[in-house]
Amino acid sequence: MTVSSIVPVNTYTGNSTVKKFDFDFLIESENELIVQHISEDNVITTLTLGVDYSINEIGNQNGSYIIFPLENSSYNVLKENEKITLMLTLSIKQESEFKNSSYFNLNILEWTFDYIVRILQILSRKIERCVKVGEGLSSSPDELMNELNESKRIAINAAESALESKKIAEENKNDCIGYLEEYNQKVIDFNDEYSECLQSIIDTGIDTRCDLDLSNLSDTGEKHFLNKTQISRCILEASNGVATVIDNVITIHQGLKLSFSNGRNSDNTLKNLEYTLQSDLVRDYKVTGLLPADTRGVLYFWIKTDNLNSKSMTAMQESGVGQGSTVPANYSGVFYNTKENTIKFYTRGSLTPGYETAIYIPVANYVVDSKQNISLTPYQTLKVMDYNDFINNGISNVICTTAPTTVSTASSQRPSVVIENYVNGASGYFVRSDGYCEQWGAIDDQTTNPITVSLMKPYVNNLFSISAISYWQSTGNSKDLQINLTASNLSFEVYRQDKYAKFNWRTCGYIK
């Protein structure tokens, strides 16, 4: 007998119909065939002869077949995702004796060789399916398998995490879709409501929307705006302009509408009242002097309260004579309390200090030159200003941005304010809106002489003030320290023998 070059294993995948499975290798006994069932989840179970399967023929060199499953088997017909494997198994042994004899049975020798070849085929199949470690590698097969199993575990965990992330992403996607749909619906609802409101305005012919500059506010709207924004003592309207001056004749124009406060409402907002000038108010500066004004260059409109009573605010009259003063305690009438921001009627003897006979509302800045000629810069009416427009064009009407000369450029209406500041340890500076700047620092140096300090904010020239306070005891010399100035640098030269410079310095002046 010869042994053909075969792999002594046959594996089949079920189809829920086939029950006959061939094997193409020789078995000489039932024990030489192993039949294994492989489930859908790769669980391998060795089947039992006579219970799960039967063998048709033994001893055929070309093999035979089995029947699976038998009637009493616990298994069903092999399904699509199930497999069955038939494999040869032999005991590794040699029980034939070969002795010196004149009679030599070649059949026994051939059978022995065939048996060995069949064992080698089994071993070759098993070696082929083993984990192989390349020559020169230090890992053992067990270590390699452990690494493979760990990699598999990591891969499975990563896959599970990916599936979980995908699940969360799907949930978040659904949430986002829900939020987006809700938002879109709100936009649609808003647009519908806006369209209905706009159509209602068109249908009624009444447009209640206000312009950005609030120029078309109703009387009620103006008062509400002023009360809520806490604005008072200002110009509301100036249909003919605020004020002009020609040949020193000052005219405050008819139609000037002013706002002033009479206490507060229950919600603590200002209770604003209004006054409109019915005719031009004219004053010749060289004949009668200024209208009410102050020494800081502000011209006021003066509403007298002498003729007001506690219930009526209509009997106001204009005047251009003198400045308001504290009312004597023996005077009766209606007065404006500058401390409480209220207008009240008082009888003789009931007054307390702080009441004035007039309400002053600033309307313009003025300048009188050396020849006693006057010029005016009227204030603007109250309006909403775009932020960029305010920065570029309107800020000079609110704060002082010009350095003074012999005449002040700052006032209570246009104050000079701090617009920039900086501190770093013992050094720092601040800058005001009119260009005034103070800078300071400290020096503690035993090696450098002279010491140069670069000013962080250079002055217009070197005509600025500087002071230095030392922390050493005088040596009796007429000069311990000399300071040289430029617009951008300070130079301190120490004349002490030890050349030890330890002092604070401070400068002040204008940088524009």
Residue entry with tokens 């003789």: 348
How high does pLDDT run on average in the chain?
A: 78
Residue 198 CB-half CA count within 13 A: 6
Express the helix, strand and coil content of the chain in percent, nearest 5 each.
Answer: 25, 30, 45
CA distance 87 to 11: 9
Q: Are 304 and 376 part of one and the same domain?
A: yes
The larger pLDDT score, comparing residue 353 to residue 442, is at 442
Is pLDDT above 90 for 490? yes
Q: Could you tell me if 503 and 484 lie in one domain?
A: yes
Establish if 35 belongs to a structural domain: yes
Q: Which residue has the higher pLDDT, 96 or 418?
A: 418
Range of the domain at 379: 226-384
Is pLDDT at 465 greater than 80 in this prediction? yes
Task: Indicate the SS3 state at residue 34.
Answer: strand
Q: pLDDT tens, 227-248? A: 666 677 788 889 999 889 898 8
pLDDT at 84: 96
| 437, 447 Cβ separation under 8 angstroms | no
Residues 16, 99 within the same domain: yes
What's the CA dihedral at 174, 175, 181, 183 to 10 degrees? -160
Three-class secondary structure of residue 237 per DSSP: strand
Residues 379 and 231 placed together within one structural domain of the fold: yes
Instruction: Give the helix ranges, DSSP H, for 211-317.
Output: 219-229, 285-288
Distances (CA, A) of 209 to 84, 206, 216, 384: 86, 9, 9, 15
Residue 194 lies in a domain: yes
Same domain? 332 vs 467? no
Mean pLDDT throughout 391-417?
Answer: 80
Classify burial at 98, counting beta carbons within 10 Å of its beta carbon; exposed 0-12, middle 13-18, buried 19 or more. exposed
Of 384, 405, 429, the last residue of a domain is 384
Whether 185 is in a domain gets the answer yes
What pLDDT is attached to residue 189? 86
335-348 tens-digit pLDDT:
566 556 666 555 55
C-alpha span between 306 and 322 (Å, rounded)? 14
**What per-residue confidence (pLDDT) applies to 306?**
43
pLDDT value, residue 436: 96
At 317 the pLDDT is 29
Instruction: Give me the pLDDT at residue 407, please.
Output: 87
Among residues 360, 384, 408, the one where a domain terminates is 384
Neighbours of 354 (CB within 10 A): 13
Total tally of structural domains belonging to the chain: 4
Q: Is residue 142 domain-shared with residue 124, that is, in the same domain?
A: no
**Can you tell me the mean pLDDT for 77-97?**
86
Rounded average pLDDT over 91-108: 71
At 455, which CATH number?
A: 2.60.40
Q: What is the DSSP string of 450-465?
A: SEEEE-SS--SSS--E
pLDDT the model gives residue 174 = 85
Q: Which of 116-125, 141-150, 329-338, 474-483 has the lowest mean pLDDT?
A: 329-338
Q: How confident is the model at residue 206 (pLDDT cuts 50, 70, 90)?
A: low
Closest by Cα among 320, 167, 340, 201 to 250: 320
pLDDT band for position 222 (50/70/90)? Answer: low
Spatial distance between the Cα atoms of 415 and 429, rounded to a whole number of angstroms: 19
Residue ending a domain, among 342, 363, 384, is 384
Q: Is residue 449 part of a domain?
A: yes
Taking the C-alpha atoms of residue 510 and residue 487, their distance in angstroms, rounded to an integer, is 10
Q: Are residues 248 and 301 in the same domain?
A: yes
Cα separation, 115 vs 93, in Å, equals 9
| 234 and 342 within one domain | yes
Does the pLDDT value for residue 161 go beyond 60? yes
pLDDT band at 275 (very low <50, low <70, confident <90, very high): confident
Which position has the token pair 């009796």? 476
Across 273-293, average pLDDT: 75
Say yes or no: 203 and 248 in one domain. no
The radius of gyration computed from the CA coordinates of the chain, to the nearest angstrom, equals: 55
Range from 72-76, 246-250, 371-375, 479-483 that averages highest in pLDDT = 72-76
Q: What are the distances in angstroms from CA 127 to CA 4, 42, 398, 421, 444?
A: 19, 21, 96, 85, 87
Does residue 351 share a domain with residue 249?
A: yes
Which of 2-11, 115-124, 437-446 has the largest mean confidence?
Answer: 437-446
Q: How far apart are CA 16 and CA 21, in angstroms?
A: 13
- Tell me, yes or no, whether 173 and 120 share the same domain: no
Give the residue from 415, 376, 368 showing the smallest Cα distance to 396: 415
Do 274 and 347 sit in the same domain of this protein? yes
Q: Is residue 299 part of a domain?
A: yes
